[in-house]
Chains A and B, each alone.
Chain A
């Protein structure tokens, strides 16, 4: 078990009182597995992703990564965490620093690593080249800027950057929602491939059931901050038990051949 979440509770202050984003959420992510979290807007799925990444401090509850509780204060802890957990965000263009070349963006995780984990100066360009190749991009992309790349290419760069330090856990926050359909399939295939090669454990957040079908072995359905259904993905998708899940499946747009 690589990631353990228990009794997670997150709320925000809003005009008109506090708004509960997550209520008593708990689950476990097993090594090499893909756990998908599906929900609509307001379900709390993005909040969950950020809390699991340690970017958000929960009011109550705990997140444990490889047995260690997530810390947000000490630089040493953050650097350790950076070696073992990374995230891919929804908007590919926004997740890259617009003022940096791709090479510089990819080098960042390598340079930010704790001293003993940092590769030698000469090594870095070799590592960059292998990262770029690993996500199926051409080497000349290294000198470009994010705004010169397409959405799909940016997302591949984001994935490469996340995998630079070979983390065990990858959190994907709606990684293909902003991409064209023909490109979505490419990125999903890339994730499937990388998961197999690197034995990644993936927490995959999505609002689209279709995307989740292929990639997820376990599934959690969220609604208004709570988990309403959980279990093996195939089972839930073929025989949903909770009325909300049933509604979600029924509303899915299907090809109507008349």
Chain B
């Protein structure tokens, strides 16, 4: 049994313009201590998926389907139940560390709070452990620094603090939603390395969300490409990158490679990411697809295994070009 099993997840919001489906029938699994990168642009539904797993969706969200962590069903679980899990078994790191940290509390106390709450430590034990955790995430002079406030740290350091907080109780699963997007590129690399090594030490499974395929490729063993609320392609990272089957994945890779070399105009994907109030019929990518077939805008392609390549190990693609079994 996998650590995380997401099955036919649907998230939608009722608005004055009608119901908006932000996640449409998503299914995937993640094993213990494994890593999954979720890539996608605006409207892909990647952040909403993360929030759904954490139980942090807005109050008016409508969720259906199933999310199981260690066999426990998360959808429909009470707030009390979820509170017990969050911080202990489930943790999340967001893009903007400043909004995730309480500006009026010292950093040491904030980490300590997690420990006191979920591991029943006393204030003193928690303070000591906080220092250790800060040290492990690369904050120098942790004893002194743990008495400082969030605004006294740089962006990169705040993210380290968040990672320390998230991994304090050795959770089963950590979700990081664009954790380095707001950081400088030199800092980004260090934070990502920290994330990977700490997760390995605590045996935590990692879901890393980013719009940047390059970032994900070096970090995650598995990769899922999302678009318009649905999965386009999913599988082991190397396989997906070397043998990109979905036209969207292939186009994204071409754009990325173009940015790293060559002259003249870049290869583009025409059009814009879909407006979820008025999504295209059938496959959400069909209006922009260079290899579109006549029935692509009528039938939504369900994920199917990729057959064309030898030794398929759970490489899935949702595209009519790939024949269904």
Contacts and interface: CB of A to CB of B under 8 A. Distances in A.
In the complex, A touching B (Cβ < 8 A): yes
Interface string B231-242: 000000110011
A75 to B, nearest CB: 39
What range describes how many residues of B lie at the interface?
35 or more
Interface in B155-213: 155, 184-186, 188-189, 211-213
B218 interface: yes
A193 B264 CA distance: 10
Interface in B270-322: 270, 272-273, 275
B251 interface: yes
B267 interface: yes
Given A181-B41, A185-B258, A255-B217, A193 B265 contact: yes
Nearest to B190: A251
Interface in A205-229: 207-211, 213-214
Interface residues of A, number: 34
Contact of B212 (A151, A152, A253): A253
A13 interface: no
B253 A251 contact: no
Contact of A253 (B185, B257, B265, B273): B185
B58 interface: no
A210 B273 contact: no
A87 to B, nearest CB: 23
B251 A255 contact: no
Given A40-B186, A248-B185, A214 B212 contact: no
A67 interface: no
Nearest to B256: A255
Contact of B272 (A152, A181, A252): A152
Interface of B: 41-42, 155, 184-186, 188-189, 211-215, 217-218, 237-238, 241-242, 251-253, 255-263, 265-270, 272-273, 275
Interface of A: 40-41, 150-153, 180-186, 188-189, 192-193, 207-211, 213-214, 247-248, 251-258
8 contacts: A150-B275, A153-B272, A182-B252, A185-B258, A251-B188, A252-B185, A253-B185, A255-B257
